[in-house]
Amino acid sequence: MSSLSPLPSSLSPLPSSLPSSGSDAPPVRPLPTPSAAGRPLRLALCLSPLLVAAVWGLANQTLLYEGVTRLTRAEPGWLLAGAGFTCLTWVVAACMRQGAVPDRLPPGLLLASQFAAGAANHALPAGLGAHAVTVRFLRTRGVPLERATASIALYSVARSGAKTVVLVVSLLSSSAWRRLGELVPDGTVLVPVAVVVALAGVATAVVRPLRRPVTGLVRCALTDARAVHTRPCRVLALWGGAAVIPLVQASVLACTGEALGLGLSWGDVFLAYLAAGTAGGAVPVPGGVAVDAALVFALAAFGSPLAVATATVIGYRLLTDWLPLLPGALVLSAMIRAKAL
């Protein structure tokens, strides 16, 4: 048997970059990495909360100046107590968010997300900014979108239900509730709200593309609600936090009133806060403008001078919203940059 002749020296070996299975296929070029492609979008998301905070501050210069001027003459001890209660609201909100999902969430990041959610609430009405931040946080923790949305529904139901119970108990234990008759919405407000709710229900029941996601969301919410309520720690975090958070927020208002000489008892301030929040919360305005107006009228109805009541509400907003706005926007930007949101 004769041996095979060697290959001619003019033929060079195949390049290593060519695929072994294809004859004439060109080499595949690597695609750009997702981090490099999404860098401008992440940068825009990081800067957008700061832009919103700057625009809001420029549009409310008069309120900021008046609030700071009045608070400089207030008693600092009570203002520090109000700031402490303000910080406690974020802790209670984080407990409620944990109680609304069966999954265990990292406490530090959860608390930071609720602090950042306060800044987002100035851009969207009716708490939608905070809910959007929370949904995004849950998604980064591996919670599916349907379950994350269901947790928002459970959170909202628990907060509304517990606040209603606290309001009823306050009304039954106080004889000053008759002064709040002016805060009850009349037919011009209730009728359009009822019509909108009825139309939304009919559209959900009739339109099939709307019925499917709503049915799936309700089914998922009921499943998670059953899972949450089988664990006592989750029940305590959800419903206990829902009952405590309006009292903590009312304590901020009471401390501010003490600092400015409001002249009302804490019980009257609590009742005024709960009633004003219920009456003004039906109007979806960003920043709680409708609630602030109702709160001023409620404090005045209990016997406080209108000027002092206005200053108290301004100081309350300064402690709860305006002072934490820039730090909250910075935390929101940092969490977006760190891909925690």
- Please tell me the predicted confidence (pLDDT) of residue 314: 86
Whether residue 37 lies inside any domain: the answer is no
- Please tell me the predicted confidence (pLDDT) of residue 14: 46
Task: Inform me whether the pLDDT recorded for 137 exceeds 70.
Answer: yes
Q: Say which range, 67-81, 138-152, 264-278, has the weakest mean pLDDT.
A: 67-81
> What is the pLDDT confidence band of residue 33, given thresholds at 50, 70 and 90?
very low
Class of residue 233 by CB neighbours under 10 A (exposed 0-12, middle 13-18, buried 19+): exposed
CB 262 within 8 A of CB 313: no
> What is the pLDDT confidence band of residue 70, given thresholds at 50, 70 and 90?
confident
Whether residue 281 lies inside any domain: the answer is yes
Whether residue 160 lies inside any domain: the answer is yes
Whether residue 254 lies inside any domain: the answer is yes
- Number of CB atoms found within 10 A of residue 335's CB: 22
Whether residue 214 lies inside any domain: the answer is yes
Say which residues have a Cβ less than 8 Å from residue 202's Cβ, sequence separation at least 6.
Answer: none
Task: Inform me whether the pLDDT recorded for 303 exceeds 90.
Answer: no
Whether residue 24 lies inside any domain: the answer is no
- Pick the most confident of 64-68, 96-100, 123-127, 303-307: 96-100
Quick check: helix, strand or coil at residue 245? Answer: helix
> What number is the average pLDDT over the span 153-161?
90
> What number is the average pLDDT over the span 167-191?
61
Whether residue 9 lies inside any domain: the answer is no
The residue among 309, 188, 316 whose CA lies nearest residue 255 is 316
- Please tell me the predicted confidence (pLDDT) of residue 77: 93
Q: Would the pTM count as exceeding 0.85?
A: no
Q: What percent of the chain has pLDDT over 90?
A: 30
Whether residue 256 lies inside any domain: the answer is yes
> What number is the average pLDDT over the span 261-271?
90
Residue 75, domain extent: 60-337
pLDDT tens figures, 206-260: 555 555 566 766 777 788 888 888 999 999 999 999 999 999 999 999 999 999 9
Task: Inform me whether the pLDDT recorded for 269 exceeds 80.
Answer: yes
Domains of the chain: total: 1
Q: How many residues does the chain have?
A: 341
- Please tell me the predicted confidence (pLDDT) of residue 49: 55
Higher pLDDT, 93 or 178: 93
